[in-house]
């Protein structure tokens, strides 16, 4: 998996590299600037024919910009640095690199207010490429005044911008835009990608992301131990092993799905289909009796257990003993899709969870049924994976959807740690949080998945992997990745939207085949004996 870091983690790596390892900060700054130059040279082979403008602040991000200016000058490019600070306010390594620009007679224009900025606007319009070295990853407040004015100006020029480490105005930790933000053509970040580059809306302003090594020693990275990662195909491939020739349906696990109600029978069916498509050997749907004929005719490979409660087509707590009986011999329970949220159904869900001996994937109405009884999660005897979309997460936490979307990692991580569950917060760039504090972000999936039933299929895919013996963390990672990648394959072959959740389920075996090929390719050959 690919590691990503918070701003504070990266700052600690820089500091320990300088203080304990003994690599001077000026060397790190030089490495950073030279790395950006390598990307610029590859992106713009004719850079010497361009006039480059650099917007720089007084901190280390600006210092990186001064190094870049020096290298651009050496390559023959015309370059002007616009310093948004008094020169005397620049300190340390940044100040040393600023002085070198004076020796090389590289123009440095100090701009300290919007009036001065307006005076230089005409000249700034003549630059064909911009380098953004204004604010860096330490931003923790809304961009206002002079900095907002220059960001708006650079964006209005409609020229390609190379952002140094992070687009100015973007939060490195939440991916939220702090009032105004540079729209980068390319972002060159140092050491590791930051969370802000990966999540939305940050990903939309980051542009193409390039990560360069500036000399952080591996043992320092290991000591700090960042807990955020991006799911990758090769990382997922390591989870899968080749099935033995003697494998059969009994060795591939049995999933019990509890769900469906009048008008929502399809939700349970799609979960069952997802489980089968991810490789589960057997799937049984526990469903209201009145839905049995409908469901059996849809997917003949799925077994059904019709159950009759007090009200036709609905779930209630009179069915608890029957469900517990059906849990015998099952490896995983998927509960919630299409169940409904009546008081009787809530009692049923809570009673089942209290004595549940096997892992559970809880989704949709299953989540809604426990939203006011989260204490039940700490009573669970087996692992639980919760798969809320932002609306369901809002009901679980009492926070608004907008608040959740503004801090997806923070809120998902806090919930997972507090309640001891694995949490899959669905949406663009799904976040998977674990009780140990680790967080994973998925890059597969696309807007075409904004259609009914997609979450039900995901529930089944994760449950199917659990039934096959995958650990809960791994089942969540692999399930989310497979689900999104299958939808990506459909988007490429069918069009950007209009494909169905059942079609996504049908595409999952092809993604597993792709992953299996990657696993085989990456496997090192054994030495001759």
The domains of the chain are located at: 22-226, 252-371+379-511
The domain covering 22-226 belongs, at the CATH homologous superfamily level, to YjeF N-terminal domain (3.40.50.10260)
| pLDDT value of position 524 | 58
Residue numbers of the chain with a pLDDT score lower than 50: 526-529
| pLDDT value of position 525 | 52
| pLDDT value of position 496 | 96
In 3D, which of 181, 205, 176, 139 has the Cα closest to residue 408? 176
Query: Is 3.40.1190.20 the CATH number for 252-371+379-511?
Result: yes
| pLDDT value of position 134 | 98
| pLDDT value of position 529 | 37
Sign of CA pseudo-dihedral 25, 186, 199, 57: positive
Report the C-alpha gap between 93 and 108 in whole angstroms. Answer: 17
Q: Running DSSP on this structure, what letter comes out for residue 179?
A: S
Q: CA of 177: how far to CAs of 8, 169, 201, 520, in Å?
A: 18, 6, 7, 42
In the sheet that holds 439-441, the strands lie side by side as 2-4, 228-230, 439-441, 431-433, 422-425, 384-386, 360-362, 332-335, 254-258, 282-288, 303-307
What are the two backbone dihedrals, phi and then psi, of residue 190, each rounded to the nearest 5 degrees?
-110, 130
How much of the chain exceeds pLDDT 90, in percent?
Answer: 95
| Residue showing tokens 């963390």 | 473
In 3D, which of 30, 124, 14 has the Cα closest to residue 71? 30
Judge whether 415 and 439 are in contact, CB under 8 Å.
no
Evaluate if pTM is beyond 0.85.
yes
């Amino acid at each position: 998996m690919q590691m990503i870091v918070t701003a504070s983690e990266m700052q600690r790596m820089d500091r320990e590299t300088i203080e304990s390892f003994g690599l001077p900060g000026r060397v790190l700054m030089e490495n950073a600037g030279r790395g950006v130059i390598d990307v610029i040279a590859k992106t713009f082979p004719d850079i010497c024919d361009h006039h480059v403008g650099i917007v720089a602040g007084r901190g280390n991000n600006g210092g990186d910009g001064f190094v870049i200016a020096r290298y651009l000058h050496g390559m023959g490019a015309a370059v002007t640095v616009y310093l948004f600070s008094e020169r005397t306010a620049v300190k340390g390594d940044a100040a040393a690199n600023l002085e070198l620009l004076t020796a090389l007679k590289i123009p440095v224009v100090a701009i300290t207010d919007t009036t001065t900025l307006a005076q230089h606007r005409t000249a700034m319009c003549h630059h064909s490429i911009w380098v953004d070295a204004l604010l860096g990853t330490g931003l923790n407040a809304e961009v206002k005044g002079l900095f907002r004015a220059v960001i708006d100006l650079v964006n209005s020029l409609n020229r390609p911008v190379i952002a140094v480490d992070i687009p100015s105005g973007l939060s490195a930790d939440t991916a939220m835009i702090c009032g105004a933000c540079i729209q980068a053509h390319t972002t060159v970040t140092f050491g590791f990608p930051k969370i802000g580059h990966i999540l939305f809306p940050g990903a939309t302003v980051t542009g193409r992301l390039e990560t360069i090594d500036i000399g952080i020693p591996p043992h320092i990275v290991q000591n700090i131990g960042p807990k955020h990662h991006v799911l990758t195909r090769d990382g997922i491939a390591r989870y899968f092993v080749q099935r033995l020739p003697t494998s059969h349906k009994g060795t591939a696990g049995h999933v019990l799905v509890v769900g469906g109600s009048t008008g929502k029978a399809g939700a349970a069916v799609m979960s069952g289909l997802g489980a089968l498509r991810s490789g589960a050997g057997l799937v049984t749907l526990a469903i209201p009796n009145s839905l049995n004929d409908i469901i059996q005719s849809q997917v003949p490979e799925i077994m059904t257990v019709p159950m009759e409660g007090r009200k036709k087509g609905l779930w209630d707590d009179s069915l608890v003993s029957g469900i517990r009986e059906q849990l015998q011999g099952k490896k995983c329970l998927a509960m919630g899709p299409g169940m409904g949220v009546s008081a009787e159904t809530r009692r049923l869900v809570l009673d089942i969870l209290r004595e549940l001996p096997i892992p559970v994937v809880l989704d949709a109405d299953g989540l809604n049924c426990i939203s006011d009884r989260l204490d039940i999660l700490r009573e669970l005897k087996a692992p639980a994976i919760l798969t809320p979309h932002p609306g369901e997460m809002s009901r679980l936490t009492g926070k608004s959807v907008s608040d959740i979307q503004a801090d997806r990692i923070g809120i998902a991580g806090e919930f997972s740690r507090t309640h001891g569950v694995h949490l899959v917060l669905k949406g663009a760039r799904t976040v998977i949080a674990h009780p140990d504090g680790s967080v994973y972000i998925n890059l597969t999936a696309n807007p075409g998945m904004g259609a009914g039933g997609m979450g039900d299929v995901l529930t089944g895919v994760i449950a199917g992997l659990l039934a096959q013996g995958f650990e809960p963390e791994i089942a969540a990672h692999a399930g989310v990745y497979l689900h999104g990648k299958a939808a990506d394959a459909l988007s490429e072959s069918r069009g950007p939207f209009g494909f169905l959740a059942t079609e996504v389920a049908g595409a999952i075996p092809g993604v597993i085949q792709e992953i299996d090929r990657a696993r085989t390719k990456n496997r090192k050959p054994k030495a001759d004996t």
